Structures are given as C-alpha cells and as structure tokens.
Amino acid sequence: MASSDTPKTLKAHLNKANEEPLYGLFLLSFSPTQAEIAGHAGYDFVVVDMEHNHGGISEALSCLQALAAAQTLAILRLLESSVAWAKKALDLEPQGIMFLVIDDLELAKKAVSYCRYPPNGVRGAAHPVVRASKYGIDEGYINNYEKELLIMCQVESVEAVKNIKEIATIEGVDCVMMGPFDLSVSMGWSRDPVNEKVRR
C-alpha cells in the first residue's frame, strides 16, 4: 500500500528527486479485463495505445476505468496529434497524454496548446461536466490540471532526433520518448529495426 508521501500523479513521480526508475506497459488491446490485469500486475503506469488499437474513445474509457479501479496511473497515446483527438482524450482523465510524430519545435508547441484552456491554448472548456473533473465534483480541477497532467512528445524520425533538444525545452513538455520502429523506417531500416546504425 502506498505511503502518505507517495506522489499521486505520474508527473509528480517523475519530478520527485532521487526517484527510482518507473516501469510501464503498453496496452495494445482495448480489453478492460487486460487493463485490469495490467493494473494489478504492479506496473507504475500503463499506456493505453490508441494508435495501434482497433477502437476509439469509448473503448479507451473502459480501460481507464479498469486501471483506475486497480489504482494504476494511465497514459493515453493518441491516434493522431490533433486538437480534436486531444480534446476528447483529455476529458477522459488520463494522468498523461502522448503525442505522436513530434518532429520539431512548432509541433511541440501545438501539442502543449491542445492541453491548455484559452487564452494559453485551444482546449474546449467543458470542465464542469467531464470525467476529468469527476463530472464537476473536483472543484480544484481547473486550478490543478496543468501541474498534474504529464505531456509526452514522441520523436519518431531522423528530423525529430535532430530537433530533440529544442523539443525538450518547450514549456509544458514533460517527457520526450523515442519511437524506435518508426525511427528505423525513417532511416531506411524497416526490415532491420535493431540495426546498429539505428541504435546509435
């Protein structure tokens, strides 16, 4: 059982000084049962992958509910890095959101803007009625969501790797993740993703 000083959000876990490594799992299924099993297996977080799954928002919601019941933090990897998908995903209350194919500074800035309410961004304001605010019961949501939501940018191309330091400096970007298979394809190694040249 977690102690009282255990961080309650994934972002707080990552920001905690001298934190032990975190271990997570990619859930390539929209099965709530598999999500629940993953949650009870002891992982620090689970990424519900909307890119390579067969469903949409409703199916992702079932997985988030199962993970919440198992007291496991959840990240949603979007189907695409667009404002429409971000709006829908954020209202479901993931602890983190992962944006795909962030190749440069401007795309990283756009990703952050999708997660912010105006005037700092373009997120649609329905916070009193969505799951993210516990349907309006969490009165502090509007004041706390920015500091609690983990924003991840995935770099998946040669261009993105060249720009990775700039991407990481954008205010609001909390984590940058490498997409090794897509990177290998962009380098011409689609049939050999573990080639030494890719790993370098």
The region of weakest confidence among 89-98, 103-112, 137-146, 172-181 is: 172-181
Of 13, 40, 52, 54, which residue is the catalytic one? 52
pLDDT band at 115 (very low <50, low <70, confident <90, very high): very high
DSSP assignments along 113-182, one per residue: HHTS-TTSS-----TTTSGGGTTTT-TTHHHHHHHH-EEEEEE-SHHHHHTHHHHHHSTT--EEEE-HHH
Residue 94 resides in a domain = yes
For residue 58, is pLDDT > 90? yes
DSSP strand pairing (150-155 vs 175-178): parallel
Residue 1 resides in a domain = no
For residue 19, is pLDDT > 70? no
Residue 70 resides in a domain = yes
pLDDT confidence of residue 173: 97
Residue 184 resides in a domain = yes
Residue 3 resides in a domain = no
Structure confidence by residue, pLDDT tens digits, 95-106: 999 999 999 999
Q: Is 52 a catalytic residue?
A: yes
pLDDT confidence of residue 13: 78
Question: To the nearest whole number, what is the mean pLDDT of the chain?
Answer: 89
For residue 138, is pLDDT > 80? yes
> pTM value?
0.88
Which residues constitute the domain of residue 84?
10-15+22-199
State the CATH number of the domain containing residue 122: 3.20.20.60
What's the number of domains the chain is made of? 1
Cα-Cα-Cα-Cα torsion 80, 47, 87, 51, nearest 10 degrees, comes to 20
